[in-house]
Structure 1
């Protein structure tokens, strides 16, 4: 999966790139006129675009932005309120405040892609097959960037040529296209690129191929269908898509998903008989046949600090404990016997009830156990602790509660309380994507790839599209493929509710839930006027059980009004181009 790094040396050329951020920049590095006469320079040019896109956000303070979309989606937050993921979910969104760290305006990158598409066709050094392939790859990247914008803002200007300062004013200061036009552009761009992209799967190496393009089409068309189905057209279509178009978008998503599944190039990862171990390794094993397209990393050379940020306190070398999981998310995970995760009333979390931790957590969906660290999780040959204190009967026959020192638990050392970093927020931590094989991870030490598209999502895309196309049996079969792999009981029938819950569980922490709640227009039901919860664990040594109570995991009550289906347009954008209209609710 590491072939993309073969072009790292040519990338040094691009240290001479201008840092300008306008579409009209004039190149001041090695002349762009020469780039598309040299294959190494062309590959380096494209690699620079890939690098700048960051298919998921792994920037920010030490890489903490990995947690940004899960935080605003109510899955997990970050350790401290000053960290960007937390300031983002706590933010008051307005015209004046703008969209903050979640904003995305990749005009510089789009300009570079436009330049390549326009000029590679003029090459006298390349054969037509190479020109077609590289232009198609550039179109995929441009489509991906527009998708990232349209899901945030609705319609944005479609700029498909390099702007020049001498262009007419209406070209230099374009108005926003409609949301429908942007989605149609994305889908048509991919249609035109797919015939020229590699049919051999190379997306796991971080490069666009036919299957990555079909995956983007599957996802983008599904989003467009949802907006048409559940949304409202406003400001003359700049946001919203006519309801009459929903079925055609569902069909496009279904067709793209079906082609990927039936290609036989990808299979659901099933290398381990133990369902928990299998799901853990799906996100650690860089060489598996489920991944369609990945953001590729290599320790030290191009590594992340994810494990340094995520390791629980007992095993950390640096920050650790930075992704506390919210109990509201835990409730989505049902038990393996089919009992609903919400069947336990929150009223039962009181000082009078004591819980067997294996029954409370260990009998849940294996995907929960693979995705979340909870009390007494086994990790690296040891246990992870989340209790704030221990109760036991002392030598005088008195029941006492202690929070320091060590106790004896059947001949084993038992800490009276867990490390403060484990306990502080929710007393649960994200495990998904954590590489247990590392010893003491340091900054830049993590080399596991992050799947941007994987077959599990494609099955769920197909299931959702099939459901709204009234193909219920196919929808049910697709969801049950995912549940069978997870070791969960199969559904007898499909419903909108279990379809949506399955998606949130299977794709948890993979930056899907927030966007799904937005496109379904259900986000206010989950993210408005709510303060997400964490847990407090007290361990009873005599009974080997826990007293579990709830606590507020967040310092503020979340707000999510209907205006938040789209982020506000940054005022700087509108100041530069008054033809950009502000999104509804932010005037």
Structure 2
């Protein structure tokens, strides 16, 4: 490269709150020649820090970053030029982290974002792609990382620091390839920077097989887990435990693809089935190493024995208490928001998901389905599925309707009657969410207009007001996980400062349990699942099956970006994502102040979710094949 386009401001330096002060004291960086960058230790490190920001897929599979209204270095997709969905709506700071939630069976899109996947959810991924793409941005990042890996050995950094920083770059590269292979199957594996005079096989590379990509990720993460330190001087950098966590996740995915997927004749998609046990064993062993040797454990600091409320608060605090014992690797959020004039190291989770009040009177952008609510068991061990006919047959208080569930339900979901600071008072009084949509009068009439009131009581509760006034159908639920009760939701986007857990100890236990079960080590699987259930405060199991392991994963990791990809790797998406989903409507009975519950079985309306078989892999697209004729399209997209 004749010149390195190098945009590093406090945006990227603030990625790690422990960054050295001398980096922040330097003059603003704009454009530097290669000679300057690779001879200055501070600029070399700043370049690597920028690549952490350029790997937004670590944050719930967001696919770009937003650094200014004029664009960012991550706007590589040509469709981004005139479409907010690509360069703003998919960003890690704004709406990108919500897309993997709404494309799954966790929630439906309601409103408020410059991006949604409603069409793809209803019809499958189109042949020209466009949904949660990680291709152009991926290869842009990997070019930068390959350049870094190539140049640092001859840089003025000390030898021990060189080895660690190169290992960090390899970690980011492995994570990028992980994000690609779970989308596209086999992709071109590039580990050097193409030049204008490079041979054609480097300038126009063919796709590697899917197995080769998985094996590359596992080889890389195994090697760098032995190079990276267990604790970095600056919190937020990749550690040996982060590398090993990526290894366990990748090995588990590869095992699932081998066991449940189909191997294409050209081997670009799929893995030979006979290799499944080998990958599951790798996932099991690596998870065991983290569990047995790592400094991590399930967060339990707020639990008071036999006190359910303490377990609710404890589960909330896993995601609110920074640097707690459960966090293996996190993306830090802090400092100034983007508006007005600050950095972009914060994100928008609260404004997107918190109840009202908010600056635009919306929130609740992704509304959880009733089916997810039913996945949470009762605290006495009963299944969580409700008798829908019975529920619709009588009036309920919220305690009667939702009492006695897994404490993780209350920590992950909000609904009518959930306490929330500054919520507008009506039936419940102040600081409690009012989600009713309709009112039954003393003479038995049902009023529905959002503009009406009856004897001083709003016909539509404040939380349902925006959706009712705009004709949007809601499920009756919102996302509580990660919500910061102190966040200021009356300013703008990007005011959330909760850290995002990329890897946490509970996932490792779940990876371990699933892998153990797959290789017939059922007792180990049971022990791991019961550790999670004990922390949650629900009855321990005497035995365990795969359905229970998968459900435990569903409720423990809800809204953390796992569910969509889990259903794909288990090859259950065709069944689980091709169906109608449900929501509820609360209608307030004025006389009793209880609620009639109406269950809507077709809550997505005309946009009924459909997952065609071809969507197990994203399309390579005609556009990319036109640029590189050595690429081959995935099945079903020709």
TM norm structure 2: 0.83
Q: Of 311, 317, 324, which aligns to 1:281?
A: 317
Deviations 1:283-340 (A, max 9, x none): 1111311111111111424211221222212455654222211112212111111121
The 1:306/1:284 distance shift into structure 2, 3 A limit, reads: same
Stretch moving more, 135-144 or 5-14? 5-14
Deviations 1:361-404 (A, max 9, x none): 232211111111111001127100111123253xxxx3344456
> How far, CA to CA, are the matches of 1:363 and 1:239 in structure 2?
45
In the alignment, which residue of structure 1 is the partner of 2:596? 547
Question: Which ranges of structure 2 fall in alignment gaps of 5 or more residues?
Answer: 1-15, 66-87, 304-309, 338-342, 423-430
> How far, CA to CA, are the matches of 1:531 and 1:4 in structure 2?
48
In the alignment, which residue of structure 2 is the partner of 1:333? 376
In the alignment, which residue of structure 2 is the partner of 1:219? 249
Stretch moving more, 333-342 or 576-585? 333-342
Q: Of 34, 48, 51, which aligns to 2:50?
A: 48
Q: Is the 8 A contact 2:441 2:454 kept in 1?
A: no
Check if 1:312 corresponds to 2:348. no
In the alignment, which residue of structure 1 is the partner of 2:72? none
Q: Of 39, 42, 55, which aligns to 2:41?
A: 39
Kindly state the Cα deviation for residue 543 of structure 1 after the two structures are TM-superposed: 3.5
> How far, CA to CA, are the matches of 2:200 and 2:391 in structure 1?
64
- DSSP-derived class of the 2:495 partner: coil
Check if 1:557 corresponds to 2:600. no
In the alignment, which residue of structure 1 is the partner of 2:76? none
Alignment of 1:3-402 (within 5 A): 3-4=18-19, 9=24, 15-16=30-31, 30-54=32-56, 55-56=58-59, 57=61, 60-61=88-89, 63-80=94-111, 83-87=114-118, 89-90=120-121, 92-93=123-124, 96-105=127-136, 106-123=138-155, 125-200=156-231, 205-273=235-303, 274-299=310-335, 300=337, 301=343, 302-314=345-357, 319-342=362-385, 344-350=386-392, 352-380=393-421, 382-393=431-442, 398-402=443-447
Q: Is the 8 A contact 1:227 1:240 kept in 2?
A: yes
Question: Which ranges of structure 1 fall in alignment gaps of 5 or more residues?
Answer: 17-29
- DSSP-derived class of the 1:560 partner: coil
Q: Of 485, 491, 502, which aligns to 1:452?
A: 502
The 1:307/1:144 distance shift into structure 2, 3 A limit, reads: same
Deviations 1:222-277 (A, max 9, x none): 00000111111004211000111111111111111111111241111112121111
In the alignment, which residue of structure 1 is the partner of 2:479? 430
> How far, CA to CA, are the matches of 2:22 and 2:175 in structure 1?
22
The 1:169/1:13 distance shift into structure 2, 3 A limit, reads: farther
The 1:567/1:547 distance shift into structure 2, 3 A limit, reads: same
In the alignment, which residue of structure 2 is the partner of 1:421? 466
Stretch moving more, 318-327 or 530-539? 318-327
Deviations 1:430-487 (A, max 9, x none): 1111111224442221111110100010000000011111111110010111111111
- DSSP-derived class of the 2:411 partner: helix
Kindly state the Cα deviation for residue 406 of structure 1 after the two structures are TM-superposed: 6.4
> How far, CA to CA, are the matches of 1:289 and 1:224 in structure 2?
28
> How far, CA to CA, are the matches of 1:253 and 1:89 in structure 2?
32
> How far, CA to CA, are the matches of 2:30 and 2:391 in structure 1?
57
The 1:428/1:138 distance shift into structure 2, 3 A limit, reads: same
Q: Is the 8 A contact 2:488 2:495 kept in 1?
A: no
> How far, CA to CA, are the matches of 2:457 and 2:300 in structure 1?
36
In the alignment, which residue of structure 1 is the partner of 2:17? 2
Task: Answer 1 or 2: which has greater helix percent.
Answer: 1
Stretch moving more, 457-466 or 276-285? 276-285
> How far, CA to CA, are the matches of 2:21 and 2:481 in structure 1?
29
In the alignment, which residue of structure 1 is the partner of 2:9? none
Kindly state the Cα deviation for residue 119 of structure 1 after the two structures are TM-superposed: 1.4
Q: CA RMSD in A?
A: 2.4
> How far, CA to CA, are the matches of 1:202 and 1:74 in structure 2?
40
The 1:317/1:83 distance shift into structure 2, 3 A limit, reads: closer
- DSSP-derived class of the 2:440 partner: strand
In the alignment, which residue of structure 2 is the partner of 1:507? 557
Deviations 1:179-238 (A, max 9, x none): 1000000010112211220112679x3210001000000100000000111111004211
In the alignment, which residue of structure 2 is the partner of 1:474? 524
Q: Is the 8 A contact 1:11 1:44 kept in 2?
A: no
Q: Is the 8 A contact 2:149 2:169 kept in 1?
A: yes
Q: Is the 8 A contact 2:125 2:615 kept in 1?
A: no
In the alignment, which residue of structure 1 is the partner of 2:426? none
The 1:103/1:12 distance shift into structure 2, 3 A limit, reads: farther
The 1:400/1:545 distance shift into structure 2, 3 A limit, reads: same
Deviations 1:537-565 (A, max 9, x none): 11224334321112233241111122111
> How far, CA to CA, are the matches of 2:629 and 2:565 in structure 1?
28
> How far, CA to CA, are the matches of 1:4 and 1:255 in structure 2?
34
> How far, CA to CA, are the matches of 1:118 and 1:9 in structure 2?
26
The 1:288/1:441 distance shift into structure 2, 3 A limit, reads: farther
Kindly state the Cα deviation for residue 128 of structure 1 after the two structures are TM-superposed: 1.6
> How far, CA to CA, are the matches of 2:414 and 2:329 in structure 1?
27
Q: Is the 8 A contact 1:70 1:511 kept in 2?
A: yes
- DSSP-derived class of the 1:100 partner: coil
Check if 1:493 corresponds to 2:543. yes
In the alignment, which residue of structure 2 is the partner of 1:578? 629
Q: Is the 8 A contact 2:95 2:113 kept in 1?
A: no
Q: Is the 8 A contact 2:101 2:366 kept in 1?
A: no
The 1:188/1:264 distance shift into structure 2, 3 A limit, reads: closer
> How far, CA to CA, are the matches of 1:191 and 1:10 in structure 2?
36
> How far, CA to CA, are the matches of 2:20 and 2:549 in structure 1?
38
- DSSP-derived class of the 1:219 partner: helix
> How far, CA to CA, are the matches of 2:542 and 2:286 in structure 1?
26
Stretch moving more, 79-88 or 329-338? 79-88
Q: Is the 8 A contact 1:11 1:47 kept in 2?
A: no
The 1:5/1:470 distance shift into structure 2, 3 A limit, reads: farther
Kindly state the Cα deviation for residue 8 of structure 1 after the two structures are TM-superposed: 6.8
> How far, CA to CA, are the matches of 1:251 and 1:489 in structure 2?
29
In the alignment, which residue of structure 2 is the partner of 1:22? none
> How far, CA to CA, are the matches of 2:219 and 2:26 in structure 1?
31
